[in-house]
Amino acid sequence: MDYLFLFFAIVAFSTQSIFTKKYQTKSSGGVYYGAFYSMVYGLILCMAFFILSSFKISFTFEAILWALIYAVSTVLCQICVIIALQKGYVGIVSMFSLSGGLIIPFMAGVLFWSETIGKFKIIGCGLIVLAFIYKNMGNKKEEKSNMVFVLLCLVIFITNGFVSVASKAHQISVNRVGTNNFLFICSALTTVISLLVVVLSYRKNKSKNIMNQKFKVTYLFFILGYALMNGVGNYFSLTAAKTLDASVQFPILSALIVCITSALAFLVFKEKLRKRDIIAMAVNIVGITCFIFAI
């Protein structure tokens, strides 16, 4: 049943990329619109999980602490992704993001949560990381590589990993709250932090007429779609995290998201699948198979 929950989470997380890409192509992008995106979907999820919690929210200090790490990492990661996409190739940014979501919780599981490590886990993790790197080698688009871009990618790597670590750490804590309660706290904190960034960004860029672009109703559709998929994905991922090892769950999660996202890009956006993409997907599947043998 845990792997069925994980599968639902993978499908939801993969599908949310459609709404993100639509929003980024329709809006002007940048820190302001990225934080606005986080603020609105955070507010939507906050209300949704408040209802799912039967209007009763319980708190513990530890739950708030992990939720704060989750929210700060989420907002910081999204802002850095938006800025990095303006400076370099999207594939490289995605590679750092997914690699962080794989490697950091994998290491946390082994080092801090006493999860067993064996040859199949090591081989599987290595193959998945290799697939990420191979998929993005030889891009013809010239990279605007500089120190800022490198630092942004490192922040993306770390923060996306911390999102997964915070999720897992809360779910195995003796002082945890219910999944709906935890996601309410995460969403509320994400909304507040994003609102602060929106206000600061607006005040800083007021002279640049940042609000010249008219807000379109379709933006709300993209944000609502993302919120729905993100909420479903987080719920099932957190449910699976109660019993699945982090060193198994997050490598499988990252690898299958790459495969499904590539397929959706081909089906929805008519993006061509290169031979390199197909090989990388095949290597990912072999890597996932290794984790199955490690169970």
> How many angstroms separate the first and last alpha carbons of the chain?
14
pLDDT digits (tens, 9 = 90+) for 181-239: 999 999 999 999 999 998 888 777 665 555 555 556 677 888 899 899 989 999 999 99
Q: How confident is the model at residue 294 (pLDDT cuts 50, 70, 90)?
A: low
Please give the full DSSP string across 86-114, using - where no structure is assigned.
TTS-HHHHHHHHHHHHHHHHHHHHHHHS-
* Inter-residue contact 67 to 170 (CB < 8 Å): yes
Give me the percent of the chain exceeding a pLDDT of 70.
84
Cα–Cα distance measured from residue 202 to residue 194, given in angstroms and rounded to the nearest whole number? 12
Pick from 50-59, 130-139, 148-157, 271-280: least confident: 130-139
Higher-scoring residue by pLDDT: 125, 12? 12
Q: Which of 90-104, 131-145, 247-261 bottoms out in mean pLDDT, i.e. has the lowest?
A: 131-145
Banded model confidence at residue 142, pLDDT cuts 50, 70, 90: very low
- What pLDDT, on a 0 to 100 scale, did the predictor assign at position 208? 54
Q: What's the one-letter identity of residue 189?
A: L
pLDDT of 180 over the 90 cut: yes
Q: What is the pTM of this model?
A: 0.82
Average pLDDT over residues 2-31: 80
What tens digit of pLDDT does each residue of 145-177 get? 567 877 888 898 899 999 999 999 999 999 999
Q: What average pLDDT is seen over the chain?
A: 81
Residue by residue, DSSP assigns 221-234 as: HHHHHHHHHHHHHH
Residue 23 structure tokens:
């929003």
Of 73-77, 141-145, 171-175, 243-247, which gets the smallest average pLDDT? 141-145
pLDDT at residue 51 is higher than 90: yes
Pairwise CA distance, residues 258 & 283, whole Å: 11
Q: Identify the band that residue 44 occupies on the pLDDT scale cut at 50, 70 and 90.
A: very high
pLDDT digits (tens, 9 = 90+) for 252-263: 887 788 778 777
Helices (H), 53-178: 61-85, 90-112, 119-135, 147-171
Can you read off the two tokens belonging to residue 278? Answer: 């197909």
Q: What is the rounded CA–CA span in Å between residue 293 and residue 59?
A: 39
